[in-house]
Amino acid sequence: MQTRAQPISEPPIRIRLICLACSRAQLAQYRRWAEALSESAELIAVDLPPSAFQATSAELARSLAERLRPYLETPHALFGQSQGALAALALAQLAQRIWPGQTRHLFVAGCDSPNAASRPDTAVQVPMTVVYPPGALATMLGWNPLAGRGLELIELAASGVDDPVFSERIVRIFNTHLGLLSL
């Protein structure tokens, strides 16, 4: 787990962005994003080993909640890319039950929408932003039943882990949303 060091002169962190990485490349990408986030946000990069995805999403969420408890007890947003998006969704669902009102936003990228269960408690009661590649809109619409407080769909042509255009745009999206949450 990596955090950005905060010099004494900076204003206090008002929200944390917890990014779930499924690969070393994603972990490195998230560390680079930490420096570009606004001063009111702190990025927490979490390394998810490949073995994490052998567990059910509920088991993975419980494991992450134990590991991330100090961060989940305070205002935070979650981001997951690819398999990490499903882990972020499961963690958001669990966190809203254990720490109501602390998860402020869910960001996902590069992941088709999962099948929504028919139970009403599966929706996350936070705004959700889904970033997807061109031509994938139809597979993204399934996120809607899981977004209890609004769904924002953003098409980004660049989606590679090391793509600087994708990184620049996603950080801009984070800064816009997290900046509004920090007011």
Residues 54-100 pLDDT 10s: 778 888 899 999 999 999 999 999 999 988 899 999 999 999 999 99
- 161 part of a folded domain: yes
Give residue 181's pLDDT. Answer: 60
Residue 95 or residue 13, greater confidence: 95
- 112 part of a folded domain: yes
- 85 part of a folded domain: yes
- With both helix axes pointing from N to C terminus, report the angle between 83-98 and 57-72 in degrees, rounded to the nearest 10: 60
Cα(67)–Cα(40) distance, integer angstroms: 23
- 2 part of a folded domain: no
State the CATH number of the domain containing residue 113: 3.40.50.1820
**Contact call for residues 61 and 90 (beta carbons, < 8 A):** yes
- Tally of domains within the chain: 1
- 4 part of a folded domain: no
Token pair for residue 68? 């991330």
Give residue 100's pLDDT. Answer: 94
Q: What is the extent of the structural domain holding 78?
A: 12-181
- 169 part of a folded domain: yes
Name the pLDDT band for 19 (thresholds 50, 70, 90): very high
Give per-residue pLDDT as tens, 120-171.
457 889 999 999 988 888 888 888 888 888 899 999 876 566 788 888 899 9
| Gyration radius of the chain's alpha carbons | 15
- 6 part of a folded domain: no
Strongest mean pLDDT among 25-39, 97-111, 150-164: 97-111
- 82 part of a folded domain: yes
CA distances from 119 to 24, 72, 92, 130, 159 (A): 35, 24, 16, 22, 32
Residue 163 CB partners (closer than 8 Å, separation 6+): none
SS3 115: coil
